[in-house]
Amino acid sequence: MTPISASTVASLRQRTGVSMMQCKKALEEVGGDEEQAIEILKKSGEAQAVKKSARDQKEGLVFMAQEGNKAAILLLHCETDFVARNEDFQKFGNELAEKLLNEGEDAVKSHAESVMSDVVQKLGENISLGETKTVEAPVLGSYIHSNSKIAVAVGLNEGEQEIAKDVAMHAAAMNPIYKTPEDVEDSAVEAEKNIWKDQLKSEGKPEEIWDKIMMGKEKKFREENALVTQEFVKEPGKLISEHLGGATIVEYIRVSVE
């Protein structure tokens, strides 16, 4: 029997989603030929995932699990909203979220890999694990939108859980990218500056005042994209920083189906 290398087995595993043991057995049957092994797995019904792997996964849901001051959020991709509404798909997503919360990222990824081909065969669509995030803070508030397409967790250094939840709901609606204006990346600001310069030039503004104008634009850009300096959606005119009542946001995660 031709020896089958671990790398060959891993390659077939990646292409088919079938277990390592099944991949090794199929490769042994055909003397290590990967393409022939795929055909064997297809004929046996094991490698349905091969046929589906090239299809887009534009749908899916986010799942959240929380216990005390710790939460886990993950995104599970699928091809259609029909499957996203499926009870088995949602059960699988909730199981993965609980595992992520209790056992961590490596454990949930390993588990997902080991059972994904079975789930794909059962539901008839390509499915994959997307973002996985965990968060822990002294005070933690979370929110998952009613359509399960957006989930947010906000951690505070102190204060009330209800306030943290309010801020999480706000972030679900307004999608701030950063926690504070200072967190806004310089590269993002520089990209905007190039746009502002073109705008000022087309407007015929004197070049000697460009720097002053752009300072104001930069301040506004940073504030609009930062959670703490956005206007609270439930109380227009009041900033999130004011709603926090002296508390500081120490953690902020947002996961959504794009």
pLDDT value at residue 31? 87
Residue 77: phi, psi to the nearest 5? -85, 150
pLDDT value at residue 48? 54
What percentage of the chain has pLDDT greater than the value 90? 62
Domain with residues 6-52, CATH architecture = Orthogonal Bundle (1.10)
Q: Which range has highest mean pLDDT (1-15, 31-45, 90-104)?
A: 90-104
CA-angle at 255, arms to 250 and 258, nearest 5° = 145
pLDDT value at residue 114? 85
How far, in Å, are 16, 56, 231, 241 from residue 35 at the CA level? 11, 23, 57, 58
The residue ranges of every structural domain in the chain are 6-52, 55-136
Domain with residues 55-136, CATH architecture = 2-Layer Sandwich (3.30)
- What's the whole-model pTM score? 0.75
Residue 137: phi, psi to the nearest 5? -155, 160
Tokens of 160: 């009330």
Residue ranges of alpha helices (H) inside the chain are: 6-16, 20-29, 34-43, 48-52, 81-84, 87-103, 105-123, 161-174, 186-203, 210-224, 240-243
What is the DSSP-derived secondary structure letter of residue 60?
E
Confidence check: pLDDT of 96 > 50: yes
Confidence check: pLDDT of 133 > 50: yes
The answer to whether the Cα torsion of 129, 130, 136, 140 is positive or negative is negative
pLDDT value at residue 47? 55
pLDDT value at residue 46? 61
Confidence check: pLDDT of 50 > 70: no
146: phi > 0 → left, psi -120 to 50 → alpha, else beta; which? Answer: alpha
What percentage of the chain has pLDDT greater than the value 70? 92
Whether 55-136 and 6-52 are alike in CATH topology: the answer is no
CA 149 and chain centroid, separation: 10
Confidence check: pLDDT of 49 > 70: no
What single string gives the DSSP state of each residue in 162-173? HHHHHHHHHHHH
pLDDT value at residue 54? 47
What is d(CA 256, CA 243) in angstroms, rounded to the nearest whole number? Answer: 24
Confidence check: pLDDT of 207 > 50: yes
pLDDT in tens, 137-193: 999 999 999 999 999 999 999 999 999 999 999 999 999 999 999 999 988 999 899
Residue 20: exposed, middle, or buried by beta-carbon count in 10 A (0-12, 13-18, 19+)? Answer: middle
What is d(CA 243, CA 254) in angstroms, rounded to the nearest whole number? Answer: 19
More confident residue, 9 or 235: 235
Length of the chain: 258
What is d(CA 41, CA 16) in angstroms, rounded to the nearest whole number? Answer: 8
| 3-class secondary-structure state, position 256 | strand
